[in-house]
Amino acid sequence: ETGLITLDVGFKNTGSTQSKITYLDGDLGKLYYRGYPIEQIAEKSTFTEVMYLLLEGELPTQEQLNKFEADIKKNSLVSVEMEQILKAFPRSAHPMGVLSTLTSSLTAFNPKAVNIKSEKDLYNAYTLLLGKFPVLCAWTYRLKLGLPLNYSDNRLDYPHNFYQMMFKMPTEDLEVQEVVVDAINKLLILHAEHEQNCSASTVRMVGSAHTGLFASISAGVSALWGPLHGGANQAVIEMLEMIQKDGGDLQKWVDKAKSKNDDFRLMGFGHRVYKNFDPRARVIKKVADNIFNKLGIQDETLEIAKKLEEVALNDPYFIEKKLYPNVDFYSGIIYRALGFPTEMFTVMFALGRLPGWIAQWKEMRINNDPINRPRQIYIGNPKRDYIDINLRN
């Protein structure tokens, strides 16, 4: 009735804010954290240093890094009541749902951290979250397997500590190979920040109402859970296993992904911004090759992934639509090689993305951005008068 055509709507290209954190060039496949190219950062930095860079804007001196790391570690104990919340969940609960709930519950147990009146308050709130979040992530895994919970071991660096919280059994020592720790470090760095993606925009949206940090991050965890976003790394493995079980006819599945009458999509392909290779996917593919060679792993899923990439990259439809592998295409294969179960892949993505979410939230609050309130294009009924129920047909 309004005579309007239905436009292509949705937050697709909106300049929703100004930011100094991340530079993305989708056509050239470039990604810079505070001006530093992701390839250099992934090669040379540590995840804790990248957290500092994203949050404070500069690479830290050794002294600054030591203090930052100490401020995080002193927050790595989680209240016992949080264990009770965790244990109220059934083992069948998806770890992302458990993580979102536990993250929001931090508000109840750290009420002071919510009243942010200064940059010091903000620093205290996010170092508290950076200390507790990896523990909560590991606990979602331990819950699923019905295993006793591990606590943070502050003598260890971040990736070693997370790995032991995930896999240490009380009955034996835990050996962890450096190639595994290096892969975890790189994966967390590569997932750490990505401009105004769906979950970061969610964190800003919720935080723009001056909702507390923990509840805002909890909303970001929920947004990341979606299979079109961070949940894609789990969906990629499920897709590759399905193709394998179906006999491995790759062209059949690529054709299905192209068909208008089929809502099947090649998970791990395509990106709203990158119309060229996702620079992270290039680095992650190298990490995959390195870890499989060093651990001597033969994984048919990795072989299928490489062949699928080859078929898709040479397919006219994918070329015309500019669909390339994204960050999620290879990450799940590595997580599996590192011993993480499929349902934990998106939790690993959230662990990596946490500093990016906090940096976006911090920038939004320091810049005093207004409450987010987008408008719409109304295509409903024109004005009409109320009809009594006994006159309706």
- The reply on whether position 42 binds ligand SDX by CB under 6 A is no
Residue carrying the six token digits 């690529």: 254
Task: State residue 210 phi and psi, 5-degree precision.
Answer: 65, 25
The pair of structure tokens assigned to 93 is 């609960």
Residue 89: alpha-carbon gap to chain centroid: 22
Q: Mask: binding to ligand SDX, 249-278, rule CB under 6 A, as x and -?
A: --------x-------xxxxxxxxx-----
Rounded to an integer, what distance in angstroms lies between the CA atom of residue 191 and that of residue 335?
13
Task: State residue 144 phi and psi, 5-degree precision.
Answer: -60, -35
> Which of 169, 174, 209, 228 forms a contact with ligand SDX (CB under 6 A)?
228
- The reply on whether position 134 binds ligand SDX by CB under 6 A is no
Decide if 94 is catalytic. Answer: no
Q: Which residues of 281-298 are buried (b: 16+ CB within 10 A; e: fewer)?
A: bbbbbebbeebbeeeeee
Rounded to an integer, what distance in angstroms lies between the CA atom of residue 52 and that of residue 213?
17
Decide if 191 is catalytic. Answer: no
Asked whether 313 and 250 are in contact (CB, 8 A), the reply is no
Residue of 328, 369, 385, 388 marked active site: 328
> Which of 185, 326, 331, 346 forms a contact with ligand SDX (CB under 6 A)?
326
> Which of 98, 323, 338, 344 forms a contact with ligand SDX (CB under 6 A)?
323
CA dist list (Å): 4 to 23, 45, 378 = 36, 52, 9
Cβ closest to ligand SDX, residue 199 vs residue 218 = 199
Instruction: Report the site for ligand SDX in 230-249 (rule: CB under 6 A).
Output: 230, 232
Q: Mask: binding to ligand SDX, 192-221, rule CB under 6 A, as x and -?
A: --x--x------------------------
CB of 198 to ligand SDX, least distance (A): 6
CB of 325 to ligand SDX, least distance (A): 9
Residue of 160, 191, 194, 271 marked active site: 271
Strands (E), the chain: 22-25, 30-33, 36-37
- The reply on whether position 347 binds ligand SDX by CB under 6 A is no
The pair of structure tokens assigned to 16 is 């929703």
Identify which range of 81-89, 176-184, 204-212, 326-334 contacts ligand SDX by CB under 6 A: 326-334
> Which of 69, 309, 328, 363 forms a contact with ligand SDX (CB under 6 A)?
328
Instruction: Report the site for ligand SDX in 303-322 (rule: CB under 6 A).
Output: 321
The count of residues interacting with ligand SDX (CB under 6 A) is 21
Stated as kind and residue range, the H or E segment containing 359 is helix 345-366
CA dist list (Å): 299 to 61, 179, 305, 390 = 41, 17, 10, 68
- The reply on whether position 279 binds ligand SDX by CB under 6 A is no
Active site residues: 271, 328
Contacting positions for ligand SDX (CB under 6 A): 194, 197, 228-230, 232, 257, 265-273, 321, 323, 326-328
